[in-house]
Amino acid sequence: MISFENVSKKYDDGTYAVNTFNLHIKEGELLVLIGPSGSGKTTTLKMINRLIPLTEGYIKIKDKMISDYDIHELRWDIGYVLQQIALFPHMTIEENIAVVPEMKKWEQKEIDHRIDELLHMVGLEPKTYRKRLPSELSGGQQQRIGVARALAANPPIILMDEPFSALDPLSREKLQDDLIELQKNIRKTIVFVTHDMSEALKLGDRICLMRNGGIVQTGTPEELLQQPVNDFVREFVGVDHAEERMVDVRGLVKSANPEEMDNLPIVPSRVPLNEILSLLGEHEQLAVQDMDEIVGTIDRQGIIRTLSRQMEGMK
């Protein structure tokens, strides 16, 4: 869907914000770009919709060079969600959401219908919120509107730059959960920037870890946890001694019929992290044994979420 081929961004002062970046982002995946501050995440994101021009290499969207797209087409067909203050303060919620559909000259009836649909989608009652101003919403609600606005004209690609990082932990967790649910239904290609590993683990189908404008490692959450390519990844991922860490999976167990569990590997309710990660590389689900009894199953998403929550707790 989005391909970076030897992409670099060099500023006039000689700084390489991004250096020989190669990545293929697949259709329908949520790709997380993560890395320390200044590692080039925002620059990488903004080069996709040409908010920042690249200086070397090229980026293709659906096999077409971004330079060959009409700039409006490119901006309107790529949703963009920023950390904060992205809503127009003097426009009501409905006007904020309608920006791109209006530029695309949708019919008013169609726009109205879409606004209701989007507000429902992000969990805000249209009757209550359509006519409000952004200042009359909480931070979390404003970010929801930011997401709704980015989705408004149904773009196939969404770019999100630390969209939840200014929120309190509870709102952040709620918006992350909702994004996961939403993505199950809409299956957009999402590029999501964060500097928070617990968020990356929770949301990412794949994670691309950047440092100094380059890629250190790209892989699934399990791959980064289990096969970090070097100490930088190991430290960033924060699981130094995966083989020694134990995970308690009792809270995650879902009940299942005995037949469903017939061919699943069995793990105890307290398992070394490493073991569970390697089993989850090969199996969608595992059966859990507690006190000599098979109590149910656990799945990949449950484990990743638990890990992510544990890391949140360690901060």
Q: Which residues bind Mg ion (CB under 5 A)?
A: 42
Rounded Cα–Cα distance for residues 315 and 31 (Å): 23
Closest CA to 225 of 247, 244, 201: 201
Q: Is 274 left (phi over 0), alpha (psi -120 to 50) or beta?
A: alpha
Task: Please state the closest distance from residue 41 (CB atom) to ligand ADP, in A.
Answer: 4
Q: Which is nearer to Mg ion, 42 or 189 (CB)?
A: 42
Could you tell which of ligand ADP, Mg ion, none binds residue 308, using a CB distance below 5 to 8 A set by kind? none
- Helix and strand totals (H; E) in the chain: 12, 15
DSSP state of 87: S
User: Cβ closer to ligand ADP: 41 or 202?
Assistant: 41
Nearer to ligand ADP, 35 or 163 (CB): 35
The nearest distance, CB 12 to ligand ADP, in angstroms, is 7
Instruction: Name which of 42 and 142 has its Cβ closer to Mg ion.
Output: 42
Q: Would you say 123 or 214 has its CB closer to ligand ADP?
A: 214
For residue 4, what are the contacts with CB-CB under 8 A and spacing of at least 6?
A: 21, 22, 23, 24, 44, 57, 59
Q: Which residue intervals of the chain are DSSP H helices?
A: 41-48, 71-76, 93-103, 108-121, 126-129, 139-151, 169-186, 197-203, 221-226, 231-237, 273-282, 300-314
For the record, the structure tokens of 14 come out as 């000689």
Quote the least distance from Cβ 42 to Mg ion, whole Å. Answer: 3
Number of residues that bind ligand ADP (CB under 6 A): 12
Give the one entry of ligand ADP, Mg ion, none that residue 155 binds, where binding means its C-beta sits below a cut-off of 5 to 8 angstroms depending on kind.
none
| Ranges within 10-69 binding ligand ADP (CB under 6 A) | 11, 13, 15, 17, 35, 37-43
CB atoms within 10 A of CB 279: 18
Alpha carbon distances (Å) from 139 to 54, 75, 180: 33, 25, 19
Q: How far is the CB of 41 from Mg ion (least distance, A)?
A: 5
- Told to check if 8 binds ligand ADP by CB under 6 A, we report no
Neighbour-count burial for 200-217, b at 16+ CB within 10 Å, e otherwise: bbbbbebbbbbbebbbbb
Contact criterion met (CB below 8 Å) for 246 and 270 = yes
Which option in Mg ion, ligand ADP, none does residue 17 bind, with CB closer than 5 to 8 A by kind? Answer: ligand ADP
Cβ-based nearer residue to Mg ion, 59 or 159:
159
In the complex with ligand ADP, the residue whose CB is nearer, 145 or 190, is: 190
d(CA 27, CA 1): 5
Q: Which of 299, 281, 83, 315 is nearest to 192 (CA)?
A: 83
Residue 313 Cβ vs ligand ADP, minimum distance, rounded to whole Å: 25
Shortest distance, position 55 Cβ to ligand ADP, whole Å: 12
- Chain position whose Cβ is nearest to Mg ion: 42
Out of Mg ion, ligand ADP, none, what residue 96 binds, judged by CB under 5 to 8 A for its kind, is none
* Sign, Cα dihedral of 122, 222, 49, 13: positive
Residue 40 touches which member of ligand ADP, Mg ion, none, C-beta under 5-8 Å by kind: ligand ADP
| Partner whose footprint covers residue 74, from ligand ADP, Mg ion, none (CB < 5 to 8 Å by kind) | none
Q: Out of Mg ion, ligand ADP, none, which partner does residue 253 contact, by CB within 5 to 8 A per kind?
A: none
**Which residues make up the interface to ligand ADP (CB under 6 A)?**
11, 13, 15, 17, 35, 37-43
